[in-house]
């Protein structure tokens, strides 16, 4: 008998029919003898709907009240799913985050889980019940309701699995696993059977939207075997995310990630003197804008430098305004802004032991006449920023040349 934590995302519980189908699956699992803890998201679209409702009253409602509002989405689905299970004669009980003491810090809207008290859950499991826990929510020391950030139900599931030392944490979604590339862009995308935490972390932070990044961090830290699989097909296998070296595929490149949310800003012809990076980036970080890639290069004119960086497209306007002001203050020549760029990344732990992958990547892009605007590398990834109109061409060519469609 194994203890398994399962998480069903918004699309899997999007309607009463789907909730009933999920209940059938859970019941079938339960009948194999496993103990089950199930965490669910709100019905798809609900969190957005409630956010929009709040904004009809206030542009920026208080984060505390937003958490009180948004957590109701998950409270609806835990109750409905539990009813659907009971209707099938499968004994079950629902709990909100606070009820099973998912304790977080007090950062409303992006709280971090600090501890989970597994007492109640274990007690209900011992009574033979399926335990259904609301995802995405917790409570701080003073009893205030908190949420874990968009997509946070993934993190709830992983944290439950860690706290309960579960055999596996299964994340059910609308795709059957993690692919070498987004299958909507490249039909030859191949599903990976196994991938390491490290690679998954890179893929997620580089734009793969399968999992919330914190859930992968959590899984890696507490060594929770994590499986991503489809709730819409029968007998899904999915992708296992683990550290077991002997079973992780030993390919040089595992996958290609892309991120369409990038925007690039450059300050041209800034005086090249100590402190310039600080003077440019500190007003940007003061308004909480995260900077991704940074490039400082020598300008054609002596004593001047060009400074470029990327931000999320949502922050583009604010960042542009700040740069316009800095351009004057620092006596720079011009600001160049471009929100029509994308980031394309190759990811693979095998890169560590293979030189020349970057050169090979650049050659592929050169052969397609795609101009590289920025480059950044780490031990296990190479990212480039290119014009968004070449996104498909770039990722497909890379996928083909690195033969990612082959096992």
Residues at the interface with Mg ion (CB under 5 A)? 9, 151
Site membership for ligand ASP, residue 152 (CB under 6 A): yes
Question: Which C-beta is closer to Mg ion: that of 157 or that of 257?
Answer: 157
Min dist CB 236 to Mg ion, Å, is 17
Question: Which C-beta is closer to ligand ASP: that of 67 or that of 199?
Answer: 67
Question: Which C-beta is closer to Mg ion: that of 201 or that of 311?
Answer: 201
Site membership for ligand ASP, residue 47 (CB under 6 A): yes
Min dist CB 97 to ligand ASP, Å, is 12
β-strand pairing of 374-378 with 381-387: antiparallel
Radius of gyration of the chain (CA): 23
CB 103 within 8 A of CB 141: yes
Got the DSSP string for 102-155?
EEE-S-TTS--EEEE--HHHHHHHHTTPEEEEESSEEE-TT--EEE--TTTHHH
User: x/- contact string, 110-149, with ligand ASP (CB under 6 A)?
Assistant: -------------------------xx-------------
Site membership for ligand ASP, residue 39 (CB under 6 A): no
CB 395 within 8 A of CB 258: yes
Q: Which of 13, 23, 73, 284 binds ligand ASP (CB under 6 A)?
A: 73
CB 201 within 8 A of CB 213: yes
Return the exposure string of 328-363: e unless at least 16 CB atoms fall within 10 Å of the residue's CB, then b: eebebeebeebbebbbbbbbbbbbeeeeebeebbee
Q: Which of 41, 82, 208, 259 binds ligand ASP (CB under 6 A)?
A: 41
Phi, psi dihedrals of residue 202, rounded to the nearest 5°: -65, -50
Q: Which does 238 bind (CB under 5 to 8 A by kind): ligand ASP, Mg ion, none?
A: none
Min dist CB 169 to ligand ASP, Å, is 14
Token pair listed for 251: 């390919």
**What is the SS3 assignment for 99?**
coil
CB 340 within 8 A of CB 262: no
Question: Which C-beta is closer to Mg ion: that of 9 or that of 238?
Answer: 9
Min dist CB 64 to Mg ion, Å, is 23
Site membership for ligand ASP, residue 236 (CB under 6 A): no
Q: Per CB under 6 A, which region of 150-158, 168-176, 226-234, 380-388 contacts ligand ASP?
A: 150-158
Q: Which does 104 bind (CB under 5 to 8 A by kind): ligand ASP, Mg ion, none?
A: none
Q: Per CB under 6 A, which region of 41-49, 175-183, 330-338, 377-385 contacts ligand ASP?
A: 41-49
CA angle 362, 367, 372 (to 5 degrees): 40
Q: Which of 5, 37, 42, 226 binds ligand ASP (CB under 6 A)?
A: 42
CA angle 359, 365, 368 (to 5 degrees): 140
For residue 291, give every residue at least 6 positions away whose Cβ sits within 8 Å of its Cβ, in sequence order, or none.
281, 284, 285, 309, 310, 311
Site membership for ligand ASP, residue 396 (CB under 6 A): no
Q: Which does 402 bind (CB under 5 to 8 A by kind): Mg ion, ligand ASP, none?
A: none
What is the contact surface with ligand ASP in residues (CB under 6 A)? 10, 41-42, 47, 73, 135-136, 150-153
């Amino acid at each position: 008998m194994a203890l398994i934590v399962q998480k069903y995302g918004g699309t899997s519980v999007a309607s009463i029919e789907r909730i009933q189908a999920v209940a059938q699956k859970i019941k079938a699992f339960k009948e194999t003898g496993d103990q089950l803890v199930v965490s669910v998201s709100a019905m798809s679209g609900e969190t957005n709907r409630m956010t929009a409702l709040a904004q009809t009253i206030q542009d920026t409602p208080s984060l505390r009240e937003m958490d009180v509002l948004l957590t109701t989405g998950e409270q609806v689905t835990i109750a409905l799913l539990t009813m659907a299970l009971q209707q099938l004669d499968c004994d079950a009980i629902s709990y909100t985050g606070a009820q099973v003491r998912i304790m977080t810090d007090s950062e409303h809207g992006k709280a971090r889980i600090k501890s989970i008290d597994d007492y109640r859950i274990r007690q209900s499991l011992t009574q033979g019940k399926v335990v259904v826990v609301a995802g995405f929510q917790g409570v701080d020391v003073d009893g205030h309701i908190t949420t874990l950030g968009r997509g946070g139900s993934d993190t709830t599931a992983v944290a439950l699995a860690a706290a309960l030392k579960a055999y596996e944490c299964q994340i059910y979604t609308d795709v059957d696993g993690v692919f070498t590339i987004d299958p909507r862009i490249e039909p030859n995308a191949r599903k990976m059977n196994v991938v390491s935490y490290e690679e998954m972390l890179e893929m997620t932070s580089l734009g793969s939207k399968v999992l919330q990044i914190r859930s992968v961090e959590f899984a890696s830290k507490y060594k929770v075997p994590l499986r991503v699989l489809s709730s819409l097909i029968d007998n899904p296998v999915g992708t296992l995310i683990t550290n077991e070296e002997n079973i992780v595929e030993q390919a040089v490149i595992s996958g290609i990630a892309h991120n369409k949310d990038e925007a690039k800003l450059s300050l041209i012809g800034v005086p090249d003197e100590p402190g310039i990076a600080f003077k440019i980036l500190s007003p940007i970080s003061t308004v909480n804008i995260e900077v991704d890639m940074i490039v400082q290069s020598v300008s054609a004119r002596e004593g001047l430098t060009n400074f470029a960086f990327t931000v999320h497209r949502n922050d583009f306007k604010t960042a542009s305004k700040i740069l316009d002001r800095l351009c004057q203050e620092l006596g720079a020549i011009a600001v160049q802004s471009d929100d029509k760029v994308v980031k394309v990344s190759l990811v693979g732990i095998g890169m560590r032991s293979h030189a020349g992958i970057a050169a090979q990547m650049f050659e592929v892009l050169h052969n397609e006449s795609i101009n590289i605007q920025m480059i950044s590398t780490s031990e296990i990834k190479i990212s480039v920023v290119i014009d968004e109109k070449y996104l498909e061409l770039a990722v497909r060519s890379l996928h083909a040349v690195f033969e990612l469609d082959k096992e």
